[in-house]
Amino acid sequence: MLNPSVRVANGLLLFGQQLEEWTVGRDRLFAAVGVPYTSFRSSASELGARAAKPGARFFDTAKRGRIRFGPGAGLALAVQVGTDDLLTALIDANGTVHHARFEESVPNQYDMEPSVLLKRIRRAAESLVSEALFDDDLLAEGSLPLLGVVVVVDKPLDTDAKPAGPAWGHPSWRSGKSLRQRLAQSFGLPVDRCYAIRSAQASALGVAWRHTRSSEYLDQRNVDVAMVLNLSSSTSAATVIVDPSTSPLSGERVTGFLSAQLIVGQHHQAGEIGHIGVDRSVLAELNKRRPADLPTLRPYRCSCTDQSDPTPPHLEAFVSTGAVTTRLGVSPSSTELARLVRRPREPQTARALSDLGALLGATLVGPLVMVDPGSITLTGPLATAEVSGALSGMVARAGLPGGEPDVRIVEDPFIALQGAGLAMLRERVFRRLDAILDGPRLESFERVRGLGMSVIRPELDTWRVTHPAPV
């Protein structure tokens, strides 16, 4: 029989979204996990199960009739580095994104000397922390319980999280150090507190999280296969496999998010769809049928190739923010793109976007037959109705043996940050609930305190791992 706190925490992972939306009440959660509220209260009083005794704030029951994870269950600091933009946010164990910020954009960040970009990441992290330190909702015992730092990148990483290929503009990135090592050095933190993840994979985990918290998920009986496309300055994809919730011997159900599996590939390059050659006949057809005032589709750049070399006719050379802005005659910056895709859109822009969708759809037929996903989710600045419409049309035309996947759009610019933060929470907290919460109350209290770094000042040199990490 699992400890009541562990059972409630597992229940929160499954029903948390419905509790947040008040479609499921606290009583139903306790009934579902088979724990009387009173025994949960006595087992987890120091962990925040009593409003009058907030303690380590692993649980937050301060609001009447409400229960959720408190900041003491850990906060992940996530930083996303695009070609020119930098986003930061804190993600808690409910998957809530706090203090999301856009830093001032700087063109071609990956062409910078690594130390310059790392310093920019550090500064952004410090500004985020200085803001969050004023937020009582995020403090446990007066400090921010930060689990660590995760950086979301737009460029390929190899199996050891080392930057891979010419996409990393500055050659020093490829000196052999992993991105995790570089972060650890720059932040002065142990390497196991520093994470790096590709944006498409982070978004796929965000999609898996949202799926496993939906009410439909509780009815899922078979494996769910989701493909996620990240359409930004580069074009990449990720596939995530989510099992139905399982019932361990004790009888309660455990979320499939804990075991959700990203297909990363033997060389960690699965999903690099940007480097598939485009179908020339589709390209010729799109160019032939284009309106007179729209320039032809021409290869712009592909991140697999040095800029001094000729651009290969890869998908990414046509499907990227740079390709579409250049085709429409504006500069390839995220501000210009945001202006172009703002609604209502010019017919030219709409047509250029639908061309991207058609090229994507035609190129994806092979991968789709191989993977047979139930859904394709588009994320990133080019995730628009025109792209999804043309993509669906192309896929329908191909007639896939398994039928057409559902094509969806996630417009939330913070989905990758959310998924990245949850990847860290999953590894450091969710998968170790037994080890953290089981056993005598005071021991679990100490283990919860050991999860985060207890940050009390924004300056990085004061971030310390103060308690031993739980086993």
* Binding-site ranges for Zn ion (CB under 5 A): 275, 302, 304, 314
Find the shortest distance in angstroms from Cβ 142 to Zn ion.
Answer: 50
Three-class secondary structure of residue 163 per DSSP: strand
Beta carbon of residue 309, minimum distance to Zn ion (angstroms, whole number): 11
Instruction: Report in angstroms how near the CB of residue 54 gets to Zn ion at its nearest.
Output: 52
Least distance (Å) from Zn ion to the CB of residue 305?
Answer: 6
Q: In terms of CB distance, is 13 or 317 closer to Zn ion?
A: 317
Distances (CA, A) of 198 to 272, 320, 417: 11, 16, 11
Output the smallest distance, CB 357 to Zn ion, in A: 19
> Looking at residue 346, what DSSP letter applies?
P
Sheet of 146-153, strands arranged across: 97-102, 86-92, 75-81, 146-153, 194-198
Q: Which is nearer to Zn ion, 306 or 411 (CB)?
A: 306
Q: Is 279 exposed, middle or buried (0-12, 13-18, 19+ CB in 10 A)?
A: middle
Query: Would you say 323 or 455 has its CB closer to Zn ion?
Result: 323
Identify the burial level of 99 via C-beta atoms within 10 angstroms of its C-beta, where 0-12 means exposed, 13-18 middle and 19 or more buried. Answer: middle
| Distance, CA of 387 to CA of 201 (rounded, Å) | 20
Q: How far is the CB of 364 from Zn ion (least distance, A)?
A: 16
**Closer Cβ to Zn ion, 366 or 439, answer by number:** 366
Residues 6+ apart with CB under 8 A from 299: 311, 312, 313, 314, 317, 318, 323
Distance of closest approach, residue 314 Cβ to Zn ion, in angstroms: 4
For tokens 């600091």, name the residue.
77
Nearer to Zn ion, 11 or 274 (CB): 274
Strand partners, 242: 224
Of 230 and 418, CB closest to Zn ion: 230
Half-sphere exposure of 198 (CA within 13 A, CB side): 33
Q: Which is nearer to Zn ion, 10 or 235 (CB)?
A: 235
Closest CA to 351 of 418, 400, 292, 291: 291
